Structure 1
């Protein structure tokens, strides 16, 4: 008998571990198919909700936030690049030049989810690639409209949404819902509204958890 899971993937398009985690989750889903199937829903989380429109230099941002040196940041970048390569995600070797505000990207993702779950997934992956591989600005409306069109969404409608405050309230409400539930770091993967897997876990961890949950095992938390 096939088990179907609902998966809410809480994340930010400016989160490198979210790119790794999504790649790992998709690989795990391929391993458990066709016995286990799932529908992904992407939920908003902003790592830097107060980030101004012009963004901030990445080294400066991480240094201020974590106190990390250039050498430490380089080591972290290399580790993330290696983890990404394991699941087929390519990080630019020089990293991202700036950190940007991602709220409008989340508004578009909310809209895409209302349109079609498959296109929301495609847009999420395209946004991650644009930021981490192509070093594009995920707050630039021209970039967002282009990416929406590339994954088969209505580019004119995307432009209309971005020019307004449409879906802003809904996006804020969802952000608050997850932070109020105790989620303060991402990725956070919630399965069937009950089981939480935290962090950019290896494929094997996701696979084991998916099989356990599909088999109606007791709920639990898997932490990074």
Structure 2
């Protein structure tokens, strides 16, 4: 019996390269047929972000020094990559970055329901495709409800912050492992691949790893 390849993915739903990288990996997994299990882990790109968020272009300019032209070029590149992978980026001038500590708490709760992956995908879609306000508790609870989770319980999880300490601990674990940027993917607990590497590169990684473990 083949042991599934364990893939730990450290990411943030505010990170466009995280959904691009995941979609590339998913395509490589489908192409190779490698048995696998995926585990999502929290990372905050902007832990100091205020509750109201910040305009995305302003944020990118402040954080990375990007010019408006560079920002637009990057958006066009990501949109094209998304299209090729079946994901829709719907960037706009008023798009905002949000603090994601609450989203990670909701994702932790969804894991107890066996639905973490589903909620993760729904949150990427909510942010990048539909530009919904993920700073808003009601929006987060709505997204959970829309995929069949208990909306009222989701709202309670956000209101009482019951998983706050746990999420902080999990975030701390990965930063202590040296994770400073996302996406970061750890294969079989020992092989780290960072960034969105492309379908071909992920395919090569999978073939090398399954060759090791067969």
Q: Tell me the TM-score normalized by structure 2.
A: 0.95
CA contact (8 A) 1:58 1:99 kept: yes
Mapped partners of 1:76, 1:96: distance in 2: 16
Mapped partners of 1:142, 1:165: distance in 2: 14
Equivalent residue, structure 1, for 2:119: 123
CA contact (8 A) 1:105 1:144 kept: yes
Give the number of aligned pairs.
213
The offset of 1:94, in angstroms, is 2.6
The offset of 1:114, in angstroms, is 2.3
Q: Are 1:60 and 2:28 an aligned pair?
A: no
Aligned match of 1:200 in 196, 200, 210? 196
Q: Which ranges of structure 2 fall in alignment gaps of 5 or more residues? A: none
CA contact (8 A) 1:96 1:132 kept: no
Mapped partners of 2:80, 2:93: distance in 1: 13
CA contact (8 A) 1:59 1:70 kept: yes
Equivalent residue, structure 1, for 2:25: 25
Deviation sequence 1:181-210 (CA, Å, 0-9, x none): 111000001112111111111111111111
SS, match of residue 215 in structure 1: helix
Task: Pick which of 180-189 and 208-217 moved more.
Answer: 208-217
Q: Are 1:79 and 2:62 an aligned pair?
A: no
Deviation sequence 1:87-117 (CA, Å, 0-9, x none): 111100436611111110001111112221x
Equivalent residue, structure 1, for 2:103: 105
* RMSD, aligned α-carbons: 1.4
Deviation sequence 1:35-93 (CA, Å, 0-9, x none): x2111111000000000000111121111111111111000111111111121111004
Equivalent residue, structure 2, for 1:220: none
CA contact (8 A) 2:142 2:151 kept: yes
Q: How does 1:1-224 map to 2 (within 5 A)?
A: 2-33=2-33, 36-94=34-92, 97-116=95-114, 119-216=115-212
Task: Pick which of 90-99 and 124-133 moved more.
Answer: 90-99
The offset of 1:19, in angstroms, is 1.0
Residues 1:30 and 1:98: Cα distance change in structure 2 (over 3 Å): same
CA contact (8 A) 1:95 1:132 kept: no
Q: Tell me the TM-score normalized by structure 1.
A: 0.91
CA contact (8 A) 1:41 1:113 kept: no
SS, match of residue 90 in structure 1: coil
